Amino acid sequence: MKNQEILSLIKYKKTRLSKNEYDIYSKQIILKQIGVEGQKKLRKAKILVVGAGGLGSPTMIYLVISGIGHIGIIDHDEIEKSNLNRQILYNKNDIGKEKVFSAKNSLNNINENCKIITHKCKLNRENSIEIVSHYDIIIDTTDNFRTRHIIDETCHKLHKIYIYGAVREFEGQVAVFNYKNGIRYKDLYKKESKIIQNTCNTRGIMGITTGYIGTLQAIELIKIILGLSKGCKNFIISYNLIEIMIKKKLIYLKRHAIQSINYQKRDERILSNIDLDYKKNKIYIIIDLRNSKDFNMKHIKKSINIPIIKFKLTQTIKLINKFKNIGQIIIYCNTKYKSIIASKFLVQYSIKHEIA
């Protein structure tokens, strides 16, 4: 067993449920798919819900009553009277108040054991990395394509699972993106596509539709946390509530060959730069942040593989500290955002380095 897995196991075994939690979750703990260990997994989970509206309301309610330990809410809107037909977290006394704070109060009244973190802002390219990096799984309950593409790109860069939901009139869609090297949102809707934005204001919506789809998003999340979803989900499911129809559409991936070419060109560029400096008698320690599978397939000669997930370990920092006395440390990854995250760890310990 790897060091990271041992540390995770030790931390997991230290998780304890209080008597109050046993009383609240007793009926689901007796389910064979959950049990005490499954309930601990739910408690340890950190989930970000993007949007506190029609889809976000039922999703968060079911996550809270299921015992999810941490829920982040990001939204910048205030509650309007027209929201009340579907945004079931709020009532007439909340009109004019900020959604994230009203949602937090309502959820805490349902289950005080759940820690609610509020982000009163709009998710954008400037703040997405910082916010998303603190959570395990991201649930998209938004209603615009621009934000969805930001969620998609950020989750891909940070290796986060993205649970998508969308509604229109009496129809809805649910999909799980970026799961076990599966499909992404961009595989469904290309960024450059000229898609007409259909909102509740233009097409109309009922609470039964958002309630149904939001509940399905919560179900997908719980299945992933409990390990009930085993394989890739390279499909999207569409629901029609009037016709009681369910359609499953497979999505085919076409991006892997292009990525391999990009990686090769990047490696060649880095190698050429390093070769020039070797002539000046410089010594380099190249740290490759990719996972072991990608590293073993192809890597820069004499580079050292330390996956990004291991940068949190004390022994990793101690090892890199020894390297700095030998030569110049270079951090390398095909995803630059991983390099930035690793760089922040090294800066904390005053370890000089460069990002390739």
202-244 pLDDT, tens digit each: 568 899 999 999 999 999 999 999 999 776 678 899 999 998 8
pLDDT above 90 for 153:
yes
CATH number at residue 77: 3.40.50.720
pLDDT of residue 2: 41
SS3 327: coil
What does DSSP say about strands 46-50 and 70-74: parallel, antiparallel, or unpaired? parallel
| Domain identity same for 85 and 222 | yes
| Domain identity same for 225 and 270 | no
Residue 302 binned pLDDT confidence (cut-offs 50, 70, 90): confident
Q: Which of 59, 46, 24, 61 is nearest to 115 (CA)?
A: 46
Query: Is 239 within a domain?
Result: yes
Q: Which of 104, 111, 118, 26 is nearest to 67 (CA)?
A: 111
| Domain identity same for 237 and 283 | no
The H helix count followed by the E strand count for the chain is: 15, 12
Q: CA dist 285 to 218, 246, 300, Å? A: 45, 54, 11
| Domain identity same for 344 and 196 | no
How many domains does the chain fold into?
2
Residues 6 or more apart whose CB falls under 8 angstroms from that of 301 comprise 271
- Phi, psi dihedrals of residue 170, rounded to the nearest 5°: -110, 25
- Distance (Å, rounded) from C-alpha 345 to C-alpha 16? 30
| Domain identity same for 142 and 226 | yes
Question: pLDDT tens, 238-297?
Answer: 999 998 889 888 887 754 433 433 445 555 555 555 544 544 556 778 888 888 878 887
Torsion sign over Cα 306, 307, 311, 316: negative
Average pLDDT over all residues of the chain = 84
Q: Please, which residues bridge with residue 48 across strands? A: 72, 138
CB distance 42 to 133 below 8 Å: no
Query: Is 166 within a domain?
Result: yes
pLDDT of residue 231: 66
- Distance (Å, rounded) from C-alpha 353 to C-alpha 341? 13
| Domain identity same for 215 and 283 | no
pLDDT above 70 for 301:
yes
| Domain identity same for 262 and 228 | no
Out of 218, 250, 282, a domain closes at: 250
> The tokens of 7 are what?
């540390």
What does DSSP say about strands 115-119 and 137-140: parallel, antiparallel, or unpaired? unpaired
CB distance 284 to 277 below 8 Å: yes
Residues 6 or more apart whose CB falls under 8 angstroms from that of 44 comprise 12, 15, 69
| Domain identity same for 261 and 280 | yes
Compute the half-sphere exposure of residue 76: CA atoms within 13 Å on the CB side of its CA: 5
Query: Is 309 within a domain?
Result: yes
Residue 135, number of CB atoms within 10 A of its CB: 21
Percent of the chain's residues with pLDDT above 70: 83
Which structural domain range is residue 283 located in?
256-355
| Domain identity same for 170 and 266 | no
- Distance (Å, rounded) from C-alpha 242 to C-alpha 170? 7
Residue 264, number of CB atoms within 10 A of its CB: 11
CATH number at residue 302: 3.40.250.10
Max mean pLDDT among 177-186, 278-287, 309-318 falls in 177-186
| Domain identity same for 195 and 124 | yes
**Residue in the block written with tokens 């891909």:** 156
Q: Alpha carbon 98 to chain centroid distance? A: 24
